[in-house]
Amino acid sequence: PVALLWFRRDLRLADHPALLAARETGDVLPVFVLDDRLWRPSGNPRRRFLLDCLADLREQTGGALVLRRGDPQQVITELVGETEATSVHVSADAGPYGRERDASVEHALGEVPLVRTGSPYAVTPGRVTKRDGTPFQVFTPFARAWREHGWRAPAPRPRDVPWLTGVRSEKPPDATTDADLPPAGEAAARAAWRRFRDERLPDYADARDVPGGDGTSRMSAYLKYGCIHPRTLLADLAEIPGDSARRYTDELAWREFYADVLWHRPETAREYLKPELQAMGYDDGPDAAELVKAWELGRTGFPIVDAGMRQLHAEAYVHNRVRMIVASFLVKDLHQEWTRGARYFLHHLVDGDLASNNHGWQWVAGTGTDASPYYRVFNPVTQGKKFDPDGTYVKRWVPELRDVDARYVHEPWTAPGGVPEGYPEPIVDHAHERQVALDRYQRLRDR
């Protein structure tokens, strides 16, 4: 018999429970469906990375991987018909669209079962709940229960998978980007993890918040596309004592937490987790549009914000601390709805992920899971001075500021020579806009 293995966010062969389940059944036909619903909103960095991961997977499967473009319901049922497959195997999708899509494919398959084995998470979203069965709303107790729940040990890569070859595959589309992307694929993911684990993990607890350094793992795009499973990372981390391994485990728990929140509340991909803040006033009109354009281009006159947005375009990636700073600036200084920034990020990031991104934005906007209130407003100057004290990060991404003394690099308007030529003056007065944001919030609470 033939088992169809439908790859989605699990583009690897090691530690892949759905692959093992398919292999139990018989010959395995590996398939990827290029679904316009997901392809269209992705920007070219994510498309390029995905296509390169698929090229790698095709090679790993001895050329068996079938790529077809179209509606998954139609493509999968057609392929089942063509190969007389008796089962379709997947890793469960926890996102709102993926769940609906899988339910409709399952329905269309009729007698042929859609078998879900594993998920892109150590603990499948929805499984960690409070004792009374309700979901966690706050990270810390979730993380504790998640750790207590535990996860299975990673399974090795199976040898001798009987791949079914010779099924028609379509030529992949093209996607070009100038962004400097990480090398794609499973071997690259494993190599990146090993390098980080052996060389940089020991300093992670201290170095992770310094955007000018190389302190984080850059594993996010690999985790997004499942080139490596978090279980593989967690198995290594469990063997490593100390703060850094614990801290890194916590960051993986954030990824699981946001997926869990989205699983329980699928509407929060677009809507506010705290609906009472939905009525918040925002700015629009031509002046607002111009300010947003300056944010997008990295020309706000606030160096750490501009450096972050320029890193986004150059690498399709932004350091976590700086993601928080630029997001806060758009929402609290430019008074834009978080959904606008979330959309922009998703389009440009190579690791763009609905759960982590949209809940990251909601956290910063104060509309999401953050237990502390809306009035957390990041000050781009003090954040810059604290986390990039010698201006390494800013100078890397904003060449106009390279000759500015480190003392002034986060507020170049105070430098004796003033703002260097070619770099903008600040587009807003941060202290004033902060007050505007807080006043709007207060009015909402007083209603």
| Residue 58 near ligand FAD by CB under 6 A | no
Candidates 327, 330, 350, 409; binder of ligand FAD (CB under 6 A) is 327
Buried b (16+ CB within 10 A) or exposed e, 3-40: bbbbbbbbbbbbbbbbbbbbbebebbbbbbbbbeebee
Please report how close the Cβ of residue 280 comes to ligand FAD at its closest, in angstroms. Answer: 17
Strands 66-69 and 114-116, by their bridges, are unpaired
Any idea of the CA torsion for 32, 33, 36, 40, to the nearest 10 degrees?
0
Can you name the residues that pair with 5 across neighbouring β-strands? 30, 89
With respect to ligand FAD, which residue has the nearer C-beta, 118 or 215?
A: 215
The footprint of ligand FAD on this chain (CB under 6 A) covers a number of residues equal to 27
CA distance 171 to 358: 32
Angle subtended by helix axes 354-365 and 243-264, to nearest 10 = 90
Task: Write the interaction track for ligand FAD spanning residues 134-163; mark x where CB under 6 A is met and - where it is not.
Answer: ------------------------------
Continuous segment of H or E residues that includes residue 60: helix 44-60
Phi first, then psi, for residue 377 (nearest 5°) are -125, 120
Please report how close the Cβ of residue 248 comes to ligand FAD at its closest, in angstroms. Answer: 6
Q: What DSSP state is assigned to residue 206?
A: H
Please report how close the Cβ of residue 255 comes to ligand FAD at its closest, in angstroms. Answer: 4
With respect to ligand FAD, which residue has the nearer C-beta, 95 or 352?
A: 352
Please report how close the Cβ of residue 150 comes to ligand FAD at its closest, in angstroms. Answer: 18
Residue tagged 């954030």 (tokens): 254
Please report how close the Cβ of residue 233 comes to ligand FAD at its closest, in angstroms. Answer: 8
Q: Which stretch binds ligand FAD (CB under 6 A): 46-54, 92-100, 316-324, 381-389?
A: 316-324
- Comparing every residue's Cβ against ligand FAD, the nearest one is 360
Residue tagged 């390029």 (tokens): 48
With respect to ligand FAD, which residue has the nearer C-beta, 2 or 237?
A: 237
Sequence letter at residue 240: I
Please report how close the Cβ of residue 252 comes to ligand FAD at its closest, in angstroms. Answer: 5
Can you name the residues that pair with 32 across neighbouring β-strands? 7, 67
Q: Which stretch binds ligand FAD (CB under 6 A): 13-21, 29-37, 299-307, 318-326?
A: 318-326
Closest to 422 measured CA to CA, from 406, 445, 442, 399: 399
Strands 66-69 and 87-90, by their bridges, are unpaired
Given a contact cutoff of 8 angstroms between Cβ atoms, the answer to whether 27 and 1 are in contact is yes
With respect to ligand FAD, which residue has the nearer C-beta, 2 or 259?
A: 259
Phi first, then psi, for residue 166 (nearest 5°) are 85, 5
Contact positions with ligand FAD (CB under 6 A) in 206-265: 208, 216-220, 223-224, 251-252, 254-255, 258
Q: What DSSP state is assigned to residue 8?
A: S
Please report how close the Cβ of residue 326 comes to ligand FAD at its closest, in angstroms. Answer: 8
Please report how close the Cβ of residue 213 comes to ligand FAD at its closest, in angstroms. Answer: 11
Contact positions with ligand FAD (CB under 6 A) in 345-374: 345, 349, 351-353, 356-357, 360-361, 364
**Please, how many CA atoms are within 13 Å of residue 299, restricted to the half-sphere of its CB?**
10
Please report how close the Cβ of residue 250 comes to ligand FAD at its closest, in angstroms. Answer: 9
Strands 87-90 and 114-116, by their bridges, are parallel
With respect to ligand FAD, which residue has the nearer C-beta, 30 or 298?
A: 298
**Please, how many CA atoms are within 13 Å of residue 326, restricted to the half-sphere of its CB?**
31
User: Which spans of this chain sit near ligand FAD (rule: CB under 6 A)?
Assistant: 208, 216-220, 223-224, 251-252, 254-255, 258, 320, 323-324, 327, 345, 349, 351-353, 356-357, 360-361, 364
